[in-house]
Amino acid sequence: MTAAIQDIRIAEAAERLRGVIRRTPLVPFPSGDPRVELRLKLECLQECNAFKARGAWNQMAQLTPEQRAAGVVTVSSGNHGKAVAWAAQRAGVRATICMPADAYPNKIQACRDFGAEVVLCGTRQESEREVAKRVAAGAVLVHPYDSARTIEGQGTVGLEIAEDWPEVELVIIPVGGGGLVSGCALAFRGQVQVFGVEPEGAPDLTLALQTGRPVPLAEVRTVVQGLCPPSAGKLPLEICKCLGVRVFTLDDGAILAAQARLVREGGWEVEPAGAAAAALVFAGRLPAELFQARARPLKVAVVVSGGNPDPAQLAALRAST
């Protein structure tokens, strides 16, 4: 491993987060496949209803006095922005969130409710450029995924799974820029297989692993907001390559069907992005070789990463039952 990876200390991040974020439950859930014993890590019940609170607080807790005075800035389609706004308010730091104008209105309002300045831009790419301007002017960047401190925080999800279910054999994680999947892979240090799942219409990490570098998406063809950044992160890519993370893509229909199942059968508020990992199990897309010569069910943990759905979409889903 490179020095940059070795410097990521997830156990230390867990200490910073203690008493600030919630230790979310790891609960059994019917997999629909007798070969799979499934448990769900419910980060939809986390502070801000998403795992992003972990990385945001790990960043905020390490700011110097000069950085606190300068304020923080980030780009987000919703959950990371909400988490940074929450963490900044808790820490007494000024925050600016640059967001694409098509972000869920409830996520935009959530950032404002936590006291952040929200700058709406036409696209995610324009949001990135606005952040770059503000960083050049002195603000501190809190990157949503391509940062060691963010990855440290997100990796505490993996630590908790390992502590709560030492026998787990496979962990499946939704993928956007790669911060959560790379952090969890580091937490397991190769002792547990880690899969990532991303939409077919935004295969950021898939393309990065194929080419060996982050590849800007020419087009985003998914309705699953939260899993479609412009490209995967450089540091997450390095970690995933080093630790052998496998990434799978699914169509939006499979992801939305998984969301519906979690909402209806589990009773949780789950956004489409939060259901992507579960969709790999529910759609029967686990590789056949995982089940060869097994006498017992495969122990699989799935991260339900977010619970901030568009209210209208959630209401329509519930009404269709």
The pLDDT value recorded for residue 203 is 98
Write phi, then psi, for 277 (nearest 5 degrees).
-70, -45
Q: What is the CATH number of domain 3-50+147-319?
A: 3.40.50.1100
Q: What predicted TM-score, i.e. pTM, was given to this entire model?
A: 0.96
In this structure, which amino acid lies at residue 35? R
The pLDDT value recorded for residue 104 is 86
Q: Which of 175, 170, 208, 209 is nearest to 188 (CA)?
A: 170
The pLDDT value recorded for residue 78 is 87
The pLDDT value recorded for residue 239 is 97
Where do we find the tokens 């936590």?
114
pLDDT tens across the length of the chain (321 residues): 787 788 899 999 999 999 999 999 999 999 999 999 999 999 999 999 999 999 999 999 999 999 999 999 999 988 999 999 999 999 999 999 999 998 889 999 999 999 999 999 998 889 999 999 999 999 999 999 999 999 999 999 999 999 999 999 999 999 999 999 999 999 998 899 999 999 999 999 999 999 999 999 999 999 998 899 999 999 999 999 999 999 999 999 999 999 999 999 999 999 999 999 999 999 999 999 999 999 999 999 999 999 999 999 999 999 886
Write out pLDDT tens, residues 142-194.
999 999 999 999 999 999 999 999 999 999 999 999 999 999 999 998 899 99
| Phi-psi category of residue 138: left, alpha or beta, with phi > 0 → left and psi -120 to 50 → alpha | left
Strand partners, 38: 300
Separation CA 184–CA 134 (nearest Å):
31
CB-CB contact of 183 with 234 (8 Å):
no
CATH domain 53-141 topology: Rossmann fold (3.40.50)
3-class DSSP state of 96: strand
Write out pLDDT tens, residues 277-295.
999 999 999 999 999 999 9
Instruction: Give the tokens for residue 132.
Output: 């770059």
CB-CB contact of 142 with 74 (8 Å):
yes
Largest CA distance in the chain: 60
The pLDDT value recorded for residue 60 is 98
Separation CA 187–CA 298 (nearest Å):
20
Domain with CATH 3.40.50.1100 in the chain: 3-50+147-319, 53-141
The pLDDT value recorded for residue 124 is 84
